[in-house]
Structure 1
Amino acid sequence: MARALVLKSTSEPLSLEVNPIPTAVPGSVVVKVLGLAVIPYLHAILDGSLPYSITLPMVPGSSCIARIHSVGPDAISLSPGKLVFCDLTVRARDDPNLAILMGIHGGAAPKLMDGEWRDGAYAEYAKFPIENVFPLNEEILLRKLGYSIEDLCTIPSHLIPYGGLSEIDVRAGDTIIVAPATGKFGGSAVTTALAMGASVVACGRNASTLQTMSTLFSSTGRLSTVILTGDVAVDTKAMIAASGNDGKGADAYIDFSPPEAAKSNHIRAALAALRPKGRAVFMGGIVGGVEINYQMVMMKSLRVQGKFMYEREMIVRLIGMVENGNLKLGETGTGFKTVGRFGLDGIQDALIAAKDTAGWGKQVVLLP
């Protein structure tokens, strides 16, 4: 038997229950959860104020660091005892274009949320699809590089922007605008793009956070910052100047705008600061429309697209970047500091702490 947090109603808090350990059937792996980062907006999903599609009762979910407990009979390379990264993005095996987020969002494949893959990792043991479990080199990560489980819990924060950066083919030598850059995922986009060899123009209104970033990554020589004013012309000019590139503009732009930024002018400014044939990817939380200069996009032949999460091969590549030392974790490597550690019985305090640490550089972890 094992403990798990269960959501039975959005009008009730999570309950801590004792349930049987899941059974590994064909196509699945059961893991002992070691740690996961609590997403800042989880409280809003659980109380229904953020209207995600969920099926109740449900164990909330997140990507996690774990150790394999048991494997299905069709597992070839995965075996009990291995340290692994478990991804919450479950894709329909008969249509990989449709996906859910285990224990968070029914997405485009609610049938998966209704059935086999409803429950997430807010538990001592969890079951994942076999293709969602990725081995980690324990010797390198924990011993040679000296990372802790908490350090490894920051991988998802970098993986999400890596999905967008890879989707628009950001490469070493490119210059990319990150705006806004002071939130959890925007800040991680800065770190990840630098690790990929790109130059970064980090934009935001929080001058203190931008200064901290500038100091932390000064050794790269590839980070510039722009304090947004809200004036499109002024901000565009500043972004172009910070991009270098002989005044032609940046090569790419990644956006992680929160819902409340729908009327902000930074998207218009960032698109205007792209060079001809520049690329932009939207990965934020805005609901509804945003204003875009149609003629400018056409005349400059800009590519503007969205990206939901990432693909499986991107997970493999990012883990490789971490194990090879290209993407350095920990407070000195990425600026991420763990400011709260909680067990399953402290979930309510964890939710409050995570809500209060929504910006870049801080995380709250659950250690079941």
Structure 2
Amino acid sequence: MTEFGSPLTVHEVPDPEPGGGEVLVQVLATCVLPYTAEVFSGARHYPLEPPVVPGVGGVGRIVRIGPDATKLRVGDLVWCDATVRARDDALTPDIAMQGWSSRGEGGAQLARYLHDGSFAELMRVPTENVYPLPAEADPVQWAALSIYAVPYGGLLAGALAAGETVLISGATGNFGSSAVAVALAMGAGHVVTPGRNRAVLDLLATRFGARVTPVELTGDEATDRSAMTAAAPTPIDLVLDLLPPHAPASAARAAAMTVREQGRVILMGGIGMLGGPDLPLPYPWLMRNSITLRGQWLAPRTANPVLIRLASSHLLDLALDRPTLFPLPQVNEAITHAATHPTPYTRTILTPTRPESTEWHTTAANSDKSPR
């Protein structure tokens, strides 16, 4: 990306050189998020600094590792998490999403160092952000972990327990519908899925059966709150909000206030991020009902291996996703496709290196050989 508002260009750049504590990965597949066009146009005001190779994580094979890696090997199939944390503050580390976004000046400094993301044949990744995948994993299907990891982080923050009832605010969106699948994989007893898109609500009910109850919203806050509460077979233990920036704050409030006494509300959406009204919640309601209200950005590092296990065991069935593949030269077509196909479980996948055409050197772990 040379500047905001311009199409991406595809050309040769020098291969990234990994330093200590870093791994060089050849990217096989990476997910193009539905709102990517909004980021690259500048509409979302993300703190990317062009020129930059964008892209949020992905699946690839290790080309080179550093001396501090004790279990990773050249040729390993791996998932690369884009959430990078500074190593010099364990309590409140600065955070950046490699090739995508950052938080605060410390995060911006981190993003300047780990500048480039996964829309490339080769990517330099911190060692701790690389996670082995099953040898039989399909890189195209598993690239969707970049979407599933977000709601998984929210459900972990809300301490979702097996058998509990959870409401996903924004369930008809790409992240929200993924949250439904993850919540059920984690053992949720029931999931309430509010939204305005009747077709998507029917899709969720058909795909997941009796453990999901859709609620078609009207836009009237009081009516919608009553309908969501009535749809739950037991009191709602946890509300996870994933509404996008353009959604009204009233919709987020209506969903949040369905939670039971001593329940938990996790905020992961975009309400107010583009200058709209903020989310007002009544102080007396929060206090007298002992509500836990928490914001959560992304997922902790420890979430990744457990999410991989959920997918490996097919509790989270990645095979249900519908991917459409684009080679790297068609990256701008992929961005358009992602924007026009934001429906649940529809994935736009960029394949910088096609998995079936990749040949690997499997020499010593610290080899400086590159894939052919």
TM-score normalised by length of structure 2 = 0.89
Task: Provide the C-alpha distance between the structure 2 equivalents of 1:49 and 1:260, rounded to a whole number of angstroms.
Answer: 12
Is the 8 Å Cα contact of residues 221 and 251 (structure 2) preserved in structure 1?
yes
* 2:255 is the alignment partner of 1:270: yes
3-state SS of paired residue (1:138): coil
* 2:215 is the alignment partner of 1:260: no
Paired position in structure 2 for 1:110: 108
Flag the 1:364–1:305 CA change in 2: closer, same or farther, 3 A: same
Paired position in structure 1 for 2:186: 196
3-state SS of paired residue (1:60): coil
Task: Provide the C-alpha distance between the structure 2 equivalents of 1:20 and 1:232, rounded to a whole number of angstroms.
Answer: 54
Task: Provide the C-alpha distance between the structure 1 equivalents of 2:231 and 2:185, rounded to a whole number of angstroms.
Answer: 19
AA aligned to 1:99 is I
Identify the match of residue 181 of structure 1 among 161, 171, 179: 171
* 2:116 is the alignment partner of 1:119: yes
Give the root-mean-square deviation of aligned CA atoms. 1.4
AA aligned to 1:43 is A
Task: Provide the C-alpha distance between the structure 2 equivalents of 1:171 and 1:197, rounded to a whole number of angstroms.
Answer: 7
* 2:72 is the alignment partner of 1:78: yes
Is the 8 Å Cα contact of residues 268 and 293 (structure 1) preserved in structure 2?
no
Paired position in structure 2 for 1:132: 129
3-state SS of paired residue (1:259): coil
Identity %: 36
Deviation at 1:301, TM superposition (A): 1.1
Task: Provide the C-alpha distance between the structure 2 equivalents of 1:174 and 1:229, rounded to a whole number of angstroms.
Answer: 26
* 2:243 is the alignment partner of 1:250: no
* 2:333 is the alignment partner of 1:344: no
1:311-350, aligned counterparts within 5 Å? 311-331=300-320, 336-338=321-323, 340-350=324-334
Task: Provide the C-alpha distance between the structure 1 equivalents of 2:215 and 2:200, rounded to a whole number of angstroms.
Answer: 11
3-state SS of paired residue (2:24): strand
Deviation at 1:128, TM superposition (A): 0.3
AA aligned to 1:274 is V
* 2:223 is the alignment partner of 1:234: yes
Identify the match of residue 354 of structure 1 among 338, 360, 367: 338
User: What stretches of structure 1 move > 6 A for 4+ residues in a row?
Assistant: none
Is the 8 Å Cα contact of residues 322 and 328 (structure 1) preserved in structure 2?
yes
Is the 8 Å Cα contact of residues 25 and 73 (structure 1) preserved in structure 2?
no
1:85-96, aligned counterparts within 5 Å? 85-96=79-90
AA aligned to 2:169 is A
AA aligned to 1:135 is P
Task: Provide the C-alpha distance between the structure 2 equivalents of 1:9 and 1:151, rounded to a whole number of angstroms.
Answer: 31
Is the 8 Å Cα contact of residues 30 and 57 (structure 2) preserved in structure 1?
yes
Deviation at 1:12, TM superposition (A): 3.2
* Structure 1: stretches of 5+ with no match in the other structure: 1-6, 143-147
Task: Provide the C-alpha distance between the structure 1 equivalents of 2:257 and 2:10, rounded to a whole number of angstroms.
Answer: 50
Deviation at 1:348, TM superposition (A): 1.2
Flag the 1:130–1:243 CA change in 2: closer, same or farther, 3 A: same
Is the 8 Å Cα contact of residues 213 and 231 (structure 2) preserved in structure 1?
yes
AA aligned to 2:142 is L
Q: Deviations over 1:220-272 (max 9, x none)?
A: x3111111112222222222222122xxx300000011111134x32222222
Deviation at 1:21, TM superposition (A): 2.2
Task: Provide the C-alpha distance between the structure 2 equivalents of 1:159 and 1:113, rounded to a whole number of angstroms.
Answer: 20
- The answer to which structure, 1 or 2, has the higher relative contact order (CA under 8 A, 6+ apart) is 2
